[in-house]
């Protein structure tokens, strides 16, 4: 996904410490995660929200520490951070319009 930065446990803090950032915590085997991929890809484009929000992604199977630190128990989970502070959280599949509206309230 071209407009989405892939994170690891080592890069998470640096990549999410400035500005408005959403992180998609997911796994390759997760059907709802796969259903969110086209929505995330669309919204992360510069024509949509990509110039206002940094979109990031983390595979929970490859990076267990960060999801554990945030108490993530179900995926997909979306953590929204503003200047390094968590300001929002969504869990599970979200229809595009609902997801967009949830993100726009943080801009």
33 annotated active-site: yes
Residue at token pair 């991929």: 37
Confirm whether 101 is domain-assigned: no
What is the CATH number for 22?
3.40.30.10
pLDDT at 1: 64
Residue 97 bridge partners (DSSP): none
Task: Choose, from 7, 22, 30, 75, the residue flagged as catalytic.
Answer: 30
Global confidence as pTM? 0.95
Confirm whether 73 is domain-assigned: yes
Q: Model confidence over 20-49: pLDDT tens digits? A: 999 999 999 999 999 999 999 999 999 999
Give, to the nearest 10 degrees, the angle between helix 31-43 and helix 96-104. 60
Confirm whether 93 is domain-assigned: no
Give the structural domain span for 56. Answer: 3-85
- Overall number of domains in the chain: 1
Task: Choose, from 33, 43, 60, 75, the residue flagged as catalytic.
Answer: 33
Residue 2 pLDDT class (50, 70, 90 cuts): confident
Residue at token pair 């915590």: 25
Confirm whether 94 is domain-assigned: no
> From the DSSP assignment, how many helices (H) and strands (E) are in the chain?
4, 5
Does residue 14 carry a pLDDT above 70?
yes
């Amino acid at each position: 996904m071209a407009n989405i930065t892939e994170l690891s446990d080592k890069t998470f803090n640096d990549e999410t410490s400035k500005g408005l950032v959403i992180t998609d915590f997911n796994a390759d085997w997760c059907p709802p995660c796969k259903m969110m991929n086209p929505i995330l890809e669309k919204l992360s484009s510069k024509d949509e929200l990509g110039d206002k929000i940094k979109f990031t992604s983390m595979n929970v199977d490859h990076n267990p520490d960060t999801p554990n630190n945030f108490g993530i128990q179900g995926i997909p989970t979306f953590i929204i951070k503003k200047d390094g502070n968590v300001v929002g959280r969504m869990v599970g599949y979200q229809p595009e319009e609902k997801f967009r509206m949830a993100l726009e309230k943080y801009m």
